[in-house]
Structures are given as structure tokens and as C-alpha cells.
Chain A
């Protein structure tokens, strides 16, 4: 199975800060990479699909980049409502989808 290594596992930043999360795949997954946001006690929410495509209704401060094995998720200006855990997910192998371990984002 394809392993997804996400880092950091947690971070604390101030409102307005730029926040960056990385996700590394154990093999080339081309652009088959999604990002989800999960707030406490809620279901995950799709933010970005196919590396860099913003889901409808998602604020433009969220963005994604990368290809192959290395991917980056960015919040350009952290807002209080962005407090959540963020997950990357690969779907290159449709018979074995995998998520990263998650990054918990907190306000400093």
C-alpha cells in the first residue's frame, strides 16, 4: 500500500500567519492527492482535490501544490475558524486509499 507521511503532526500559529503542511507519498501518485479539514466532532470536509483544485465554496486562503511524491497544503492567512485537523489522502491506488496521519492546527 502507498504510505502517506504528513508533517508536522501539530502546529500552533497566530491569526494571520501563513501555515504550511507537507505530505509525502511512498511512491509516485502523480496528482492523485486530496486535502480534507476535520473540525472537532464533525465529519471531514473536502477542501482541495487533485492537488490544487479548490472545492466549491472553500475560501481562497487555502491552496495546494506539488506532484509525484511531495505535496504542500497552505493556509495563506490563518483564521480562528481554521482550527481543525487536516488530512491528505491519496487515491492513486483506488483499491487501497490511504490518508496521512493528520495535522492538528491550533491558534497561538
Chain B
């Protein structure tokens, strides 16, 4: 069955970096894009970034552009979100999701990132 598992969350100070990982299984990873979506405590969903199936196209929300970088390793069925210059407002649960023809049909359980001094 399709499974996505995020890891790498934690507590960091403002200005620090963190890399999130998304381990995929149960499908042909190289055929699908991967989305990153976050949810601040008690708030709604916010799209963060997307990487195309082949890694050739990447797009970012304005709120993270220039600070976050999305990447993938199709040989190991992994996607990554490198987060630099973290701010308090980046505190959120981060989800990765499989992107399938315009929608996210499978989601991970999320990993919590807390940015606090």
C-alpha cells in the first residue's frame, strides 16, 4: 500500500536549519510529484512547495522562497525539504503528499517543526 513517512522535525532556534525527509513506499516513486504542505498550530493548511516527478521543476510559496529547497532521490524513494533561516512563523506540522494529476491523493502523518528561542 502507498505510504509516506516524514521525519526530521524538531525544536530549533530562529536562524537555524533543518532538513525534513519523506520516505515513500508502495508505488513507483519516480512517476509522481511530491508536495509539501504545512499547518501552523490551530491554523489552516498552507502549501509550501512542490517537486515534479523527475525533479526538473520545483515551485515554492512566497513565504519560503529563497529559504527552503525541495529535492528528491528517485533511486531511494526519498524526498527532502531543506529549511534554512528558520523563523518562528515556520513553526508547523509539515506534511509530504503524493501529487497525482492535480491533487494530493496520499499524505504522510506529518512531522512537527518548532522554531523557538
Contacts and interface: CB of A to CB of B under 8 A. Distances in A.
In terms of DSSP, what is the predominant structure of the interface of chain B? strand
A39 B33 CA distance: 25
Given A43-B110, A44-B45, A99-B45, A1 B62 contact: yes
Contacts of B16: none
A108 B27 CA distance: 41
Given A38-B45, A43-B108, A43-B110, A94 B103 contact: no
A98 B37 CA distance: 10
Given A32-B102, A94-B59, A101 B108 contact: no
A99 to B, nearest CB: 4
Interface in A24-78: 32, 34, 36, 38, 42-46, 49-50, 55
Nearest to A31: B102
Interface residues of A, number: 26
Contacts of A55: 105
A96 B61 contact: yes
A34 B102 contact: yes
B46 A49 contact: no
A1 B59 CA distance: 13
Contacts of A49: 102-103, 105
B47 A87 contact: no
B95 interface: yes
Given A44-B97, A97-B47, 11 more contacts: A43-B95, A43-B107, A45-B107, A46-B103, A49-B105, A89-B45, A89-B47, A96-B61, A96-B62, A101-B44, A102-B44
